[in-house]
Amino acid sequence: MNQKGQTATAYLFLTPFLVVLAVFFCFAFLRTIYYSFTDFNLFDPPKLIGLKPYADVLGDSSFRRALANSLLFAVITTTLQTILSLLMAVALNRKIRGLSFFRAAWYMPSITSSVVITLIFLWLFQQQGVVNYLITQLQSVWPLILTFVLILIAVQVIQVLWEKSRKLPVGYFDPALLAASALIALFVTWGLSAAGVVTAHEVVDTVSRPGQITPFLYQYFADKWLSIGGVQIISVPLMVIIFMNTFTTIPTLMLFFLAGLQNIPTALYEATEIDGATPFQQLMNVTVPMLRPVSFYVITVGLIGTLQMFDQVAVIGNAAPTDTLITLAYYVYANTFKSGVAPVYMASAAAIILAVITLLLVTVQRRFISPDAV
Amino acid sequence: MKRTALSLLSLALLGSAALAQQVTIKINGYGGTDPAIVGDLINKFVKPIVAKDNINVVYEPLQGDYNKALTTLLAAGNAGDLLYLPGETAGGFIATGKLLPLNGLVSTTPFIKSLNSVFTVKGQTYAIAKDFNTLSLVYNKDLFDEAKVAYPNANDTWKSLATKLTAVKKALPSGYYGICLQPGFDRFGAFAYAEGWKQFDSAGKTNLLSKPFVDAFTWYTSLAKDKVGVTPSEISQGWTGGCMQTGKVAVAIEGNWVAGFLKDNAPNLKYGSTLLPKADATGKRGNFLYTVGWALNAGTKNKAAAIRVLNALTSVDAQNYVLSEGLAIPSRTALQNNPFFTKAGAGSENARVVFQGATDGFVSGFNFGPAGADWSKIVDTALASVLSGQKSVKDALASAQADMNKLQSR
């Protein structure tokens, strides 16, 4: 009797969620499947036309580009964000001074709106934006940097050799000597620069002559591609988005890894230390296998999130040519919201294809990284 | 006391009866500055006329992407009784069957014929143009003076204009350009028309490989050679009006909207306006008619009242007001003699040129046909890839035509 009552209570608590799921997911999903076999255009009553929407979608070059972009984006971004967030979690799991500050600071990109971050990236990567400006500056001060580095190496080598000649145990990366070398290199470079022996290049907005350089004005959000054998593989604007997405998602995933790291018994690390394992061997043979369930979750969430990437593409909008950035989620949106009649049947077919691909990818990675295989 | 109460009661009843009879006409239009302008227009010229018929008028702007918002409202049956119908997307909206043909309901004769044709499909007119714009060639007088090159004028051909622009580029320091080139059909298309190109053939198909189109495309993109022409994004601008604002570009191709923009954002810029250059091959110029019309929702429950409001919105008085405020060029033929056009000043000069542009040479409505914006995206992509030096004219047009064939065979 008591158990019966408990079951009813459980169902009662579940009802709001089940209703929302039924209305906004099951109903919508079933309708999308139905529309993907019709000629629905938002206005006329849909008529069944069989597999034609799928044929139309597959024949559309925009869709094929969206598919390629989505898969590339999902695989590259998920790989990058998983590896980098794991490394960051390992770094922030050590007992270092100001740990809570670093954890909070690194988490900032995750709590900032993706729309705002996209706008900032648009600004950074404009033709006359910050990135091009920094590259121009770097090009102009290149002789000074090179001089500094060469002097630093020379002074360091001299110092180490001198110390060694005095039979003192010293390495080439000794921090104290390095600091002294850097200071000497800085002074000598400054002196050479003041004497006019080594000077920075002059940035001039004209045809370059010796000693002058033109500003670096690379157009990131343009129809520019990395091609192999004439086949356009990945566009430059998409690479910018991959960079941005990795930057914003690492902190969230890092938190999952951090939580996972807390659960690894320190005895394991102590045992490997006794066996003489290097930090890299510890990472590969203890940390990574013990984090398998977390990795499974992180990769699954990463794949689903990246396959459905939409907001960044929508915000960048016309700033980059459509084909360079179009993803499956954006393709679905663009084919549903048009001016007047819209090929909703094509959007529906594309949405179903996206769902199937997501399921497939998650299933495939489940076979390789089973959460139970600890 | 009783009598007073009775009379008050009867007054209240009468009032509620009158309220019940009052009809509210809802208008859907653009957001931005339109609510203020149209609100003013409605209060000054529409409400006084229709109030006696117990008609109230409400303007409901659709913020964000107007076309998408209107599509959703029309599909859901919630759109206003009257609505803005943008000329470029009219084809897609007319195909929904949710707009009422105006033939026999509203007279289209007082309005410029080419404007009516933008909203006419199979002999049925679906909207009355509220106002319009065409393209004009806007030039920076100071830059031409500094380069000692004659201003562009109405007799210029593509060749003579290109010579002038090259001379300007050569004479000015680096960082200055001859012309700002929008990588879009919305500007380039006018040049294709000048060569006699037709956007759609009798079967509704588009040929991007026909000689007139290829010639116009080649000329337009050739201006990017040696940086005589520059795209807005290359100088961190969003449109060619922004290029003019920087004072570093000698020429831009824009409509009357640029006058207000320059007045606010570059008040010291000395500029002039002239008609677009003529194609050397045909001796004609081409132009676009950019227009937005007033259309009737087929699902309106107050057809007669909505038509009354539509007539008031396009009345002579209302259109005179729009012109005098420098907002747009009126769509009534009779207003071409309005004294505003002969006033001195860069703004009036531009308005005059824009008005002339509607009837000089091969003029066509800015329209994407039933495929909507997807149609123009194909041309835009081809233009962008050639202007940025990614593709040759031949390769860009070949792949554009392949995409066009696919789009139009769906």
Place of tokens 């909206």: B93
What is the band of B170 on the pLDDT scale with cuts at 50, 70, 90?
Answer: very high
d(CA B364, CA B189): 10
Q: Which amino acid is at B83?
A: L
- Secondary structure element (H or E) that encloses residue B293, with its range: strand B286-296
Q: What is the pLDDT of residues B259-275, one digit of tens each?
A: 888 888 999 999 999 99
Residue B6 has pLDDT above 70, yes or no: no
d(CA B90, CA B92): 6
Dihedral (Cα; B144, B145, B146, B150), 10-degree rounding: 50
Q: What is the pLDDT of residues B49-79, one digit of tens each?
A: 898 889 999 999 998 889 999 999 999 999 9
Report how far Cα A157 is from the mean position of its chain's Cα atoms: 39
B97·A43 Cβ contact <8 A:
yes
Residue A15 has pLDDT above 60, yes or no: yes
Residues in chain A with CB shorter than 8 Å from the CB of B385 are 223, 321
d(CA B388, CA B234): 9
Of chain B, the percentage scoring pLDDT greater than 90 comes to: 55
d(CA B360, CA B276): 10
Residues in chain A with CB shorter than 8 Å from the CB of B174 are 205-206
Residue B327 has pLDDT above 90, yes or no: no
Q: Pick from A30-34, A248-252, B322-326 the range whose average pLDDT is largest.
A: A30-34
Helices (H), B148-271: 158-171, 185-194, 211-222, 240-246, 257-265
Average pLDDT of chain A, as a whole number: 88
Place of tokens 């004439």: A230
A222·B384 Cβ contact <8 A:
yes
Which of B67, B93, B388 lies nearest to residue A222, judging by beta carbons? B388
B89·A339 Cβ contact <8 A:
yes
Residues in chain B with CB shorter than 8 Å from the CB of A59 are 406
| Count of positions (residues) in chain A | 374
Query: Which residue from B317, B371, B284 is spatially nearest to B40, judged by alpha carbons?
Result: B317
pLDDT of residue A39: 94
pLDDT of residue A220: 85
| Count of positions (residues) in chain B | 410
Q: What is the pLDDT of residues B346-393, one digit of tens each?
A: 888 888 888 888 888 999 888 887 777 778 888 998 998 888 777 899
**How many angstroms separate the Cα of A179 from the Cα of each of A72, A160, A169?**
44, 13, 18
What is the band of A374 on the pLDDT scale with cuts at 50, 70, 90?
Answer: very low
What secondary structure does DSSP assign to A303-355, as a single string?
A: HHHHHT--HHHHHHGGGS-HHHH--HHHHHHHHHS-SSS--HHHHHHHHHHHH
* Best of B30, B62, B68 to mutate (most A CBs within 10 Å, chain A): B68
d(CA B88, CA B72): 18
Q: HSE-up of B342 (CA within 13 Å, CB side)?
A: 5
Residues in chain B with CB shorter than 8 Å from the CB of A44 are 97
Which of B71, B174, B381 lies nearest to residue A339, judging by beta carbons? B71
Region A331-359 average pLDDT? 92
* Best of B28, B62, B71, B182 to mutate (most A CBs within 10 Å, chain A): B71
Which of B74, B235, B381 lies nearest to residue A321, judging by beta carbons? B381
Helices (H), A291-327: 292-307, 311-316, 322-325
d(CA B333, CA B336): 6
CB of B70 closer than 8 Å to CB of B79: yes
- List Cβ<8 Å contacts ≥24 apart for A126-130: A126/A220, A126/A221, A126/B236, A127/A217, A127/A218, A127/A219, A127/A220, A127/B233, A127/B234, A127/B235, A127/B236, A128/A217, A128/B235, A128/B236, A129/B236
Q: What is the pLDDT of residues B127-148, one digit of tens each?
A: 999 888 899 999 999 999 999 9
Query: Which residue from A304, A302, A301, A300 is spatially nearest to A358, judged by alpha carbons?
Result: A304
pLDDT of residue B252: 96
d(CA A317, CA A312): 8
Which of B236, B372, B381 lies nearest to residue A338, judging by beta carbons? B372
**Six-digit token pair at B162?**
């290109």
pLDDT of residue B320: 84
Residue B174 has pLDDT above 70, yes or no: yes
Which of A127, A223, A343 lies nearest to residue B385, judging by beta carbons? A223
Which of A60, A224, A341 lies nearest to residue B95, judging by beta carbons? A341
Q: Which amino acid is at B259?
A: A
Show the beta-strand stretches assigned E in B40-126.
55-62, 82-86, 120-121, 124-125
Q: Which 8-state DSSP code applies to residue B385?
A: H
d(CA B187, CA B231): 12
Paired sense of beta strands B271-274 and B23-30, if any:
unpaired
Residues in chain B with CB shorter than 8 Å from the CB of A321 are 381, 384-385
Chain B nearest CA to A113, separation (Å)? 19
CB of B270 closer than 8 Å to CB of B142: yes
Place of tokens 């393709």: A331
Residue of A nearest to B386 (CA): A223
d(CA A45, CA A47): 7
A337·B377 Cβ contact <8 A:
no
B202 contact partners, CB below 8 Å, separation of at least 6: none
pLDDT of residue B10: 55
Residues in chain A with CB shorter than 8 Å from the CB of B370 are 341
Query: Which residue from B167, B174, B134, B173 is spatially nearest to B152, judged by alpha carbons?
Result: B167
What is the band of B7 on the pLDDT scale with cuts at 50, 70, 90?
Answer: low
Chain B nearest CA to A219, separation (Å)? 8
**How many angstroms separate the Cα of A322 from the Cα of each of A63, A151, A235, B187, B269?**
11, 49, 11, 19, 35
Region A164-192 average pLDDT? 89
Query: Which residue from B287, B292, B331, B336 is spatially nearest to B137, judged by alpha carbons?
Result: B287
CB of B295 closer than 8 Å to CB of B126: yes
- Secondary structure element (H or E) that encloses residue A227, with its range: strand A225-228
Interface of B with A in 331-390 (CB under 8 A): 370, 372-374, 377, 381, 384-385, 388, 390
Region A42-67 average pLDDT? 92
Straight-line distance from the first to the last Cα atom of chain A, in angstroms, rounded to the nearest whole number? 40
Region A306-318 average pLDDT? 87
Region B330-352 average pLDDT? 80
Query: Which residue from A111, A128, A130, A110 is spatially nearest to A120, judged by alpha carbons?
Result: A130
